[in-house]
Every structure is written in C-alpha cells, then in structure tokens.
Amino acid sequence: MDYLYLENVTKTFDKVVAVDRVTLGIGKTEFFALLGPSGCGKTTTLRLIAGLEQPTAGRIYIDGREVTNLPPQERNVAMVFQDYALYPHMTLFENIAYPLKVRKVSKREIAAKVHEVAEHLMIAELLDRLPSQVSGGQQQRAAVARALVHAPKVFLFDEPLSNLDAKLRIEARAFLKHLQKEIHVTTVYVTHDQAEAMAMADRIGVMFAGKVVQVGAPLELYRFPKTKEVAAFLGNPPMNILPGRVQPVTDGSQFVGEGFVLSLPGVHIPPQEIYLGFRPEHAKIDVEPKDCAIRARIYAVQPLGSEVWITLQVGNYTVTVKMFAEGMPQVAEEVWLILDQNKIHLFDSAGQRLSPCG
Amino acid sequence: MQKKSSSLVLSTSTGLIFLAPALLFIALFLFFPLVWVLIISLTDTTLTGPAAVSPSFVGISNYVRLFDLSRWMRLGNFGNALRNTVIFVLGSAIFGQVPLGLAIALAFHRRKGLLREIVFSLATVAWILPGVAVAFAWIAFLDRDFGTFNALLALLGFPKIDWYFDYPLYAIIIFNIWRGTAFSMLLFSAALGNIPPSYWETADVIGASAWQRFKDIIFPLVRPNLFTALILVTLWTFNVFTPYLITGGGPLYRSETVPIFTYRVAFKFFEFGKGAAIAVVMMTINFILASFYLLMQRRRPR
Amino acid sequence: MRGLKKCAFKLCWGIFILLVVTFFLLPLLWLITAPFDAKATLRVAIPSKFTLANFQAIFRNTFAVRALFLNSIVIAGGTMLGVTLFATLAAYAIARLNIPGRDILAYLLVLFSSVVQGTAAMVPIFILLFHLKLIDTYPGVIFVLIGGLLPTGIFLMRDFVAGVPKSYEESALVSGARPWQVLRDVVLPVLRPGMMVLAVWSFVQAWGDFLISLIVMRSPAKMPAPIAIYSFYTEGGTPVLTLVSAYSLIYALPVVFLYLFVNWRYGFRFFGGIKGGGR
C-alpha cells in the first residue's frame, strides 16, 4: 500500500458534499500537490489527513496504520497553515519547540533540535524574537521549522505562500522544493496556484467540486489533460478552448466553429459537438495563411519583455497567443492565426478528452 | 440530533461545564427575578409583619394604586416621579449627553494633540469615578453659599442660584449630563474615525464647506450610531440611581425619579408588593427601549 | 471675507472647547483641594494651611479603614474574579460549541440584562437573598454584582474570543498537544489581554457600587467605602467635610490609576462597537 492512502474518503457538511469518494495513494518522500479552484475540497481533504475533520465515509492510512478515527495529536503529522498560526505570546524558539515540549522531550534535546532546524531554515538568529517582530517570510520559515522539528510522517501545507508578496513567493517556492528533497518527508501541498503546483510537485492531483479528476506528473497533466477543466486550469495564459462541431471530410475532419472553419487532416472521429483546445504557445500569427490557419483580428497586444501575448478575435471568440518577441511579424489588423496541428486537444461535449483516432 | 462541538479542543460535555456557572448566575439573577417580581407585584408582601409571613393575593390593586390618576401627580406619588423622570431623560440624555458628546467628537475629529487628550480624559474621568465621590463633589459644586458654580456666577455678575431648594431637578439634569457625556463622545469619536480618509480628501478636492460635510458625509454615516446612542443612553438614564446621593429625591420629592421612588417604596418602607409593581412598570419600559435597540442592531449589517 | 469667516469659526470653536473644559474640570476641583485643607469648606480654594491631617484622621478611624481597605476590596475583588473567570469560560464555550440558536440566545441575554437592572431588579433579588440567607454577607453582594455584570462581560469576551483564530488551536493539536494543553498553552495566554480588560472593568464597576451594598449589607462592620463614608456625618446630620473629602479622594484614586493604566496599555476607546456596560 502507498505510504499515505485515502480510500473512498467522503466528507459532507450538512447537505454539501465537500469531498466526494476520493481515493489517493501518495508514496513515501513524494511531493504531492492538491490543486484546484477555491471551494473544490482540497483544503478539506488536507484537514481530513491531519485529523482536523472526521470523514463521513472512507478510510485513511498512514505508513500502513489506519488513522481514520485517530485525533490529530496521535497521527504524527505536521501542518503549516495559511496564516502560519505562530503563537503570538511565544518567541520563535518556544513556538518551534512546542511539538517537542508536549512530547516531553528533555530541555537539552529540545534546544539542540530547535537550533538544528532553525539553522536549516536560516532563522537561527531570530529565535528569541516574537512572531510580530519578524517579517512574513521569516514567520513562514518558523512555521515550517515547527512542523519539521518532530520528524513527522507526513508534512501538510495549506496554501503556505499565499500571504507572501510576489517576489518572496518565487524565492520561497525554490526554497521549499529544495528543502523537501533534502529532508525526504512525504508532503501534501494544497494550492490554487497552478504554477506553484507545476513547479514544486512530483505529482499533482487536480480537484474540482470535491472529486479528484486527474492525477499525474505535472508535464503529463499539462500535455495530456483528461478533461477540459483540467486543461483550462493549467497553463498561463490558459488554454484556448473553442466550442464547435466536427464533421468528417475526405482524409480527415473539419471543425466548424462560430464564424470560422478549420480543417483537421488525419482526425477521424464521429460527427458530434466538441471542444477544440490549443495552448497559447502552440499557435502563432502570421500575415500569410499557412496550414491550419484561421482568419483573425487583433484585439490587444501585451509585450512582456521576452514574450508577447496577443489577444485575437476569432469568429465570435477571443483567443490568446503567446510568442517570443523576436521573430514576431509586423502586426496588422487582420492576421492569420496558425495552429500547431500536433498540439491540438479535442474534448467531447461532456468535456472528456478525445483521441484523434476515435 | 446530536450536538457536535465545532472544536476539537472543547468537547460538548466540557463546554457545557464551562457554560454552567454563568448560566446559573444568569438564571438566578436575571430570569428568576423577572418572573418572580411579576408574582410579588400581585401580592401585598412586606418584610415584616403579618403580610411577610402570609402574604395574600391582591390582584392588580398595587397597579391600580400606582396609576390612580386622581392622585398620582401629587408629590411623592408615582405620576410625579414619572413626570420628573421624563423631564430628566429628555434634558440630560436626549438633549444633553448625546448632542454634547457628538459636538465634542466633531470638534476633535481629525485633530490630535494635547487638548484632545485633556478633554477626553476629563470627560472619561467624570464618567468612571465612583458615584459617591462625584456626588459629594457636586454637592460642594452646587452649594448656594460656597459652591464653585455660584462663585463663577458671582464673578460674572449674576445672582446666586439655590440649586437644592429652587431647581433640584435641573441640578441632577446638569449633573447627569456631566456624568454620562463621555460615552456618547467616545462612541461618536470611534464612528467618525471609521470614516475612510478618502471621503474627506474627496470633499477637500471638491471644496465642500463644513456644513456640507456634516450634512452629506458625517450625518448619514453617523446616523445609526446616533440612534443606538439615544436608545442606550435613554435606557441607562432612566434607571440611574446616583442622583439620589445629591438631592435624595427632594426636597419633598421634587427631584424624585422612578428609580428613587422604587427604592423609597420598597426599601424604606419595605412594601415589597407595591415596590414590585413599580419594578414591573420600570422593567416594561426597559423592555420597550431595549427592544428598539435590538431592532436597530438587527437592521444594521455587522 | 473668507478669512474673516474662518477666524470667526475658529473663535467659536475655541470658546466651545473652553466651556467644555471648564464644565468637566470645575466640579472635580473640590476633590483635590478640600482633602488637603485643615479647614475644608464646600469652597474650592487653595488650602491656606496645606495639611495631611485629614488623611491621618481617616487612617486612625479603624471602621473607615476597614470599610475601604477590607470590605470594598473583598467585594470588588471577589466580583472581579467571578466575572472574569465565568465570563471567559462561558464566552469560549459559546464560541466553540455549536449550540443551535446561539444568536437568539445572545439577543435574549442583552434584552434581559437591560430589562432587569437597577432598583427594579433589587426588589425580587432582595427577597431571593433573604430566603437564601445571604443578606448581610459578602457572597450576597458579590453574587448579585456578578450576576449583573456577567451578560455584558460575556459580550466583551465573546468579541475577544472571536479574534482568536481556530488555526492556533488546530496547530497545537497537530503538534501533538492534548486538548487541556491547548487551552493552557495557547488559548489562555492569547485571551489574557481581554481578561485583563474584563477584570479592570468589573473591578471598577463593583468598586463604585453602592445600591446593592446599601440594600444588602446591614452590619456596619461589613459595609464598603461608599456606605461607610456616611459615618463621617455629625450628629446634626452635616458631613464633616475634611474627612468626607479626603475619604472620597482615597476612594476615587484606584479608579483613576486603573484608567491611566488601561489608557496607557490599550488606549481607552471603543474598538468595534458598544456592548453596554455604561451607567
């Protein structure tokens, strides 16, 4: 069995199903991200693992032992909260030492362990300060230190970077990833920021409306999303998804969208309503039509330094294309949108991924 | 239906134990008296004498006696006390403490500094000093021959006022304004402080006059607090007992308010049946005022 | 023309402030001049003969001293402990327990505590204490005071407890603490400032109370300061001003100090709304 295993776990609050028959297996030392929009159930799932909520149904196992009915203090997990939850009346030292203090560890050992972990997290000189006297980034590291200090079996993070400003967030991301690799603790990391999940996780579990929709390595989810929700959630700017109809033509199919037609050679699927998706970096604009081109009008151009985002009006829809700044042709009002044939995604009317061969 | 605690720290049973002492006190000293006073008011209970040992049920005769319109305005009766109280509340609460507190809060809003600290501290000290101490201070202050108030009047060329004999009700009105203004002052001060600075800056840019600012920015935003203050201050002023220490309700009941009247009937003569009837009337008025207050609170988004 | 208008406005403001300061200051002056005057009158005057003899006379009077330094302290202290403890426990339980109809209960509490107050409440309460044999006892007075202050006290603490994030408690649990440890190590220390405010407030309220003591206490030996002060009257029924003024001053001082302390520590303001507790 996996190190951390959730078996058909369900959690209902009054009439609302927050977590819906979730089954997840997470390996030892794995960095697993739970990703999804607000309200999708990812934080509730985390709290179920911690023991802060009791599942309505299902079981939870940690390191082979069933913990479903154990209170949090007996599970030997650690959690970093979104607001860090550092006790304002204790110094950083006392905060970090707290898990050891309640386990009745000797004072000498506490001091040694706290200093060790503080060194690791580069806050050793701040140990006698109060949380209100250190910066946000330092508070966050103190919260991480407190979680680490008693060598937990599972490390739980609840959106720990959302209270940091943008620049600090990027630094902290690298720091946490590096730390996790060094310490080899099984980690479950909840976030709504897809870039964060992609950058840090070994595997991602995407959740929508209480269900885990897809689990896999970041690039796997990015390249082969199982549903159009997953496809749209990952990637910045998000994948362009256009509704339309597909019908067969000689040696392939034809996609009829609102206001345009696109030929899809080599695609053989029965005629139906579908969604066509392509990522902004898998398309470009040109002044001359090439294969797989659609007429488009420029709506807005956003130069971002090394790349340019161009928003276009295609038929009745707005799509975004991402291109490198060098090699961008002269921009005119009317251009041609050219898609990379091999990187097109197709989803059926229910949003499920379609294989091009039916 | 199982009552589940929303906290892993506090189990339902421990939580109820935590709650128990407070609930016991509240049951004993709030609910129980409320019910019992109604019952007593329908009897002729007294502390001593035959009626104490075996009180008899007298129906609503205590109330009838209170509201006997042919005699109730006589000095020393309920109607007199009620009239005094209405004047007292109008003068010291509605047209006294609340407007004065608002005026001071307005005078000092957006201004900091020593003067503000002095005024606020003085008003607050007047509010929180023990009643007996300020009562003596006011007896001295209003004394006809030696009091500071009359000394000031003499300085300005005005004749002395014999507060105790000529204007006892006005005396306690002024006293109560002095005593309670701090509450309104602090309340309005906090409310004014909650108005975002961007409102003022916009008004500056537009060039609004002081009166326009008051009418269009301050008053609408402060209005809910105004009603809250009026109701609460009215409620407290209606029940306040401290003026007893200055005038004793006299001379000859001319400054006797309903609380003082209640005290006299119930605890000077120990006629509990009658005292209970007055208490019920007082509580009914309190109830009406408190209900208004709660209605206002519910309407306001918290 | 505009400048003239502004000038007039400033003048009016100045006069208003002057009147306000005078209004609040003047009545208090007697309390700081008369106690130091061997020949104190009802006048406010700089003592011709500055003296501390009045205070000495008071301290020689064992009855008065006992009233002030024993009875008043016992009553106010007992009330403070009771209100702080019970209100905090109750507020915490209300915040964390999922009692259905919690808000209705809160409204009812405000309603009843507003209705049952003052002399009106004392009529049935006196009879209750009489039957419980608590007339003329410390607990009698203290219990009544606690009962009267608890509703407002619970409201004060309720706001405070709401400010304690649940994540503090949850984090402690996940760290391995048992519930009682969480209460002792995390919840109580964080609630301490609120409890301090509650303690000071309830102490000041009880310290200044005279109605309840007046009605419930019968024996002179147990009467607190506000009642004992009336023993400084002559047989003719006039107050001995030297003693009365000095006693009033001593009696008022703790409140002044507490106010200065609270003002320094927290600033004396209404932080988010009124929850009652005035006069």
Q: What is the pLDDT of residues A45-62, one digit of tens each?
A: 999 999 999 999 999 999
The encoded tokens of residue B43 equal 């009897």
Looking at residue B1, its pLDDT comes to 36
pLDDT at A36 over 90: yes
**Residue C176 is nearest to which of A81, A87, A102, comparing CB atoms?**
A102
Mutation choice for A interface testing from C98, C167, C174 by most A CBs within 10 A: C174
How far is B127 from C279, CA to CA, in rounded Å? 8
**Residue B118 is nearest to which of C21, C26, C112, comparing CB atoms?**
C21
- Which tens digits make up the pLDDT trace of C178-225? 999 999 999 999 999 899 989 999 999 999 999 999 999 988 889 999
Assess whether A218 and A344 both reside in one domain. Answer: no
Within a domain: B55: no
- Which tens digits make up the pLDDT trace of A74-133? 999 999 999 999 999 999 999 999 999 999 999 999 999 999 999 989 999 999 999 999
Instruction: Classify strands A186-191 and A154-158 as parallel, antiparallel or unpaired.
Output: parallel
Amino acid at the residue B150:
N
Looking at residue A203, its pLDDT comes to 96
Percent of chain B clearing pLDDT 90 (strictly above)? 46
Average pLDDT score over chain B: 88
B9 to chain A, any CB pair closer than 8 A? The answer is no
More confident residue, A341 or C214: C214
More confident residue, A311 or C64: A311
What's the average model confidence in pLDDT over A310-328?
85
**Residue B104 is nearest to which of C20, C94, C211, comparing CB atoms?**
C20
How far is A51 from C13, CA to CA, in rounded Å? 63
Give the three-class secondary structure for C84: helix
Q: Which band of pLDDT confidence, cut at 50, 70 and 90, is reported for residue B238?
A: very high
Sign of CA dihedral C44, C47, C48, C51: positive
In chain A, which among 108-167 make CB contacts under 8 A with chain C? Answer: 146, 150, 156
Assess whether A177 and A324 both reside in one domain. Answer: no
Partner-chain contact C179 B5, CB within 8 Å: no
Question: Domain spans of chain C?
Answer: 71-223
Percent of chain A clearing pLDDT 70 (strictly above)? 98
pLDDT at B298 over 80: no
CATH number of the domain encompassing residue B207: 1.10.3720.10
More confident residue, C107 or A349: A349
Cβ pairs bridging A and C (under 8 Å): 65
A96 to chain C, any CB pair closer than 8 A? The answer is no
Report the chain A residue with the minimal C-alpha distance to residue B8. Answer: A52
Within a domain: B77: yes
Partner-chain contact B240 C279, CB within 8 Å: yes
Indicate the residue among A233, A253, A271 that finishes a domain: A233
Looking at residue B56, its pLDDT comes to 83
ipTM over 0.90: no
3-class SS string, A285-331? EECCCCCCEEEEEEEEEEECCCEEEEEEEECCEEEEEEEECCCCCCC
**Residue C175 is nearest to which of A83, A99, A156, comparing CB atoms?**
A99
Domain residues for B126?
A: 73-299
pLDDT at B116 over 50: yes
pLDDT at C118 over 50: yes
Looking at residue C269, its pLDDT comes to 63
Residues in chain B, total: 302
Q: Which band of pLDDT confidence, cut at 50, 70 and 90, is reported for residue B246?
A: very high
The counts of H helices and E strands in chain B are: 17, 0
Least confident span in B185-199, B205-219, C71-85? B205-219
Partner-chain contact B279 C121, CB within 8 Å: yes
Give the number of C-alpha atoms closer than 13 A to the C-alpha of residue C75, restricted to the C-beta side: 31
A23 to chain C, any CB pair closer than 8 A? The answer is no
**Chain B neighbors of A71, CB-CB under 8 A:** 8
Give the number of C-alpha atoms closer than 13 A to the C-alpha of residue C112, restricted to the C-beta side: 22
pLDDT at A264 over 70: yes
Assess whether A245 and A100 both reside in one domain. Answer: no
Assess whether A134 and A269 both reside in one domain. Answer: no
Indicate the residue among A218, A233, A248 that finishes a domain: A233
Domain residues for A267?
A: 240-354
A52 to chain B, any CB pair closer than 8 A? The answer is yes
- Which tens digits make up the pLDDT trace of A278-290? 999 998 888 888 7
What domain count does chain B have? 1
Give the three-class secondary structure for C165: coil
Within a domain: B23: no
Assess whether A63 and A117 both reside in one domain. Answer: yes
Least confident span in A302-316, B213-227, C168-182, C250-264? B213-227
Q: Which band of pLDDT confidence, cut at 50, 70 and 90, is reported for residue B236?
A: very high
Looking at residue B129, its pLDDT comes to 95
Within a domain: B16: no
Looking at residue C268, its pLDDT comes to 66
Percent of chain C clearing pLDDT 90 (strictly above)? 47
Looking at residue A330, its pLDDT comes to 65
Average pLDDT score over chain C: 87
Partner-chain contact C190 A87, CB within 8 Å: yes
pLDDT at C275 over 50: no
Chains that touch B (3 or more CB pairs under 8 A): A, C
Partner-chain contact B26 C147, CB within 8 Å: yes
What domain count does chain A have? 2
Assess whether A45 and A117 both reside in one domain. Answer: yes
Task: Give the residue among A197, A173, C177 at the shortest CA–CA distance from A188.
Answer: A197
CATH number of the domain encompassing residue A260: 2.40.50.140
pLDDT at A357 over 90: no
Looking at residue B247, its pLDDT comes to 92
What's the average model confidence in pLDDT over B77-90?
93
**Chain A neighbors of C189, CB-CB under 8 A:** 87, 89-90
What's the average model confidence in pLDDT over A349-355?
88
C71-223 has which CATH code?
1.10.3720.10
**Chain A neighbors of B8, CB-CB under 8 A:** 52, 71-72
Nearest CA distance, A111 vs chain C (angstrom): 17
Assess whether A304 and A159 both reside in one domain. Answer: no
3-class SS string, chain A? CCCEEEEEEEEEECCEEEEEEEEEEECCCCEEEEECCCCCCHHHHHHHHHCCCCCCEEEEEECCEECCCCCHHHCCEEEECCCCCCCCCCCHHHHHHHHHHHCCCCHHHHHHHHHHHHHHCCCHHHCCCCHHHCCHHHHHHHHHHHHHCCCCCEEEEECCCCCCCHHHHHHHHHHHHHHHHHHCCEEEEEECCHHHHHHHCCEEEEEECCEEEEEECHHHHHHCCCEHHHHHHCCCCCCEEEEEEEEEECCEEEEEECCEEEEEECCCCCCEEEEEEECHHHEEEECCCCCCEEEEEEEEEEECCCEEEEEEEECCEEEEEEEECCCCCCCCCEEEEEECHHHCEEEECCCEEECCCC
Sign of CA dihedral C127, C132, C133, C136: negative
How far is A158 from A83, CA to CA, in rounded Å? 9
pLDDT at A223 over 70: yes
C11 to chain B, any CB pair closer than 8 A? The answer is no
More confident residue, A265 or B87: B87
Find out whether C184 and B63 touch, Cβ atoms under 8 Å. no
Within a domain: B36: no
What's the average model confidence in pLDDT over B217-235?
87
Which pTM value belongs to this model? Answer: 0.86
How far is A280 from A320, CA to CA, in rounded Å? 6
Task: Give the residue among C92, C179, C186, B15 at the shortest CA–CA distance from A71.
Answer: C179
Least confident span in A218-232, A312-326, B230-244? A312-326
Q: Which band of pLDDT confidence, cut at 50, 70 and 90, is reported for residue B3?
A: very low
Nearest CA distance, C93 vs chain B (angstrom): 5
Indicate the residue among A233, A261, A284 that finishes a domain: A233
